[in-house]
């Protein structure tokens, strides 16, 4: 069986604490016609390098009903900057406008098959996966990006069309799994990488 959630699959449910003091579940976003789940963290240079672009996406698509939830699943023994307290600090300092939640057990990362940070999953109103992968082809430098797969998928779905590209390899740091080397991936994760 593949590690990463397959196209057309239903979004796995979750119940995770947010940096704003609330707990969030999948059902909290039921009014959003499109839901973007991003596996993220505090320290990854790929996440940091694409953060302004994600803020721009939020400004453009948020008013059209697109909800964004960022999930930090990284272990914190070797990556203490990814702790919940550091998430709260970062969210305030960087004025993150989306929901930012902590997956301490890593159960949600496993359910979605998160490979890297960032790794994006786009779900339609039925919460079926319609796009999975990267934001674009250069998370470090926005001006050098030549593709825009995440925005293209959102544009298509908002127009009731099929995204032109539905699956890409995410570009970023590996999810930091509990008890594993920083570069380890589950053996079955070779379905995308």
Q: What is the pLDDT along the chain (193 residues), one digit of tens a residue?
A: 478 999 999 999 999 999 999 999 999 999 999 999 999 999 999 999 999 999 999 999 999 999 999 999 999 999 999 999 999 999 999 999 999 999 999 999 999 999 999 999 999 999 999 999 999 999 988 899 999 999 999 999 999 999 999 999 999 999 999 998 888 887 777 555 4
Number of other residues whose CB lies within 10 A of the CB of residue 147: 14
150: in domain: yes
Question: If you ran DSSP here, which 8-state letter would residue 10 be given?
Answer: B
Q: Is the peptide bond before 33 cis (omega within 30 degrees of 0)?
A: no
31: in domain: yes
Q: Output the domain CATH number for residue 125.
A: 3.40.30.10
175: in domain: yes
7: in domain: no
1: in domain: no
Rg (CA), the chain: 15
Contact between 36 and 67 (Cβ < 8 Å) = yes
Q: How many structural domains are present in the chain?
A: 1
Query: Looking at residue 191, what is its pLDDT?
Result: 54
**Structural domain of residue 72, as residue ranges?**
15-191
Closest-CA residue to 98 (of 36, 175, 48, 21): 36
63: in domain: yes
């Amino acid at each position: 069986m593949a590690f990463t959630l397959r196209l057309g699959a239903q979004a796995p449910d979750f119940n995770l604490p947010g940096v704003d003091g609330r707990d969030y579940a999948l059902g909290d976003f039921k009014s959003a016609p499109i839901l973007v789940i991003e596996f993220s963290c505090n320290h990854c240079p790929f996440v940091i390098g694409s953060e302004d672009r994600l803020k721009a996406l939020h400004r453009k698509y948020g008013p059209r009903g697109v909800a964004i939830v960022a999930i930090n699943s990284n272990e914190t023994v070797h990556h203490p900057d990814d702790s919940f307290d550091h998430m709260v600090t970062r969210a305030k300092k960087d004025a993150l406008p989306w929901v930012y939640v902590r997956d301490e057990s890593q159960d949600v990362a496993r359910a979605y098959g998160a490979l890297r940070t960032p790794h994006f999953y786009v779900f339609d109103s039925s919460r079926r996966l319609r796009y999975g992968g990267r934001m674009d082809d250069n998370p470090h430098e926005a001006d050098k990006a030549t593709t825009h797969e995440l925005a293209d998928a959102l544009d298509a779905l908002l127009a009731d069309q099929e995204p032109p590209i539905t699956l890409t390899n995410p570009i970023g740091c590996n999810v930091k799994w509990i008890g594993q080397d920083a570069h380890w991936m589950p053996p079955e994760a070779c379905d995308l990488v």
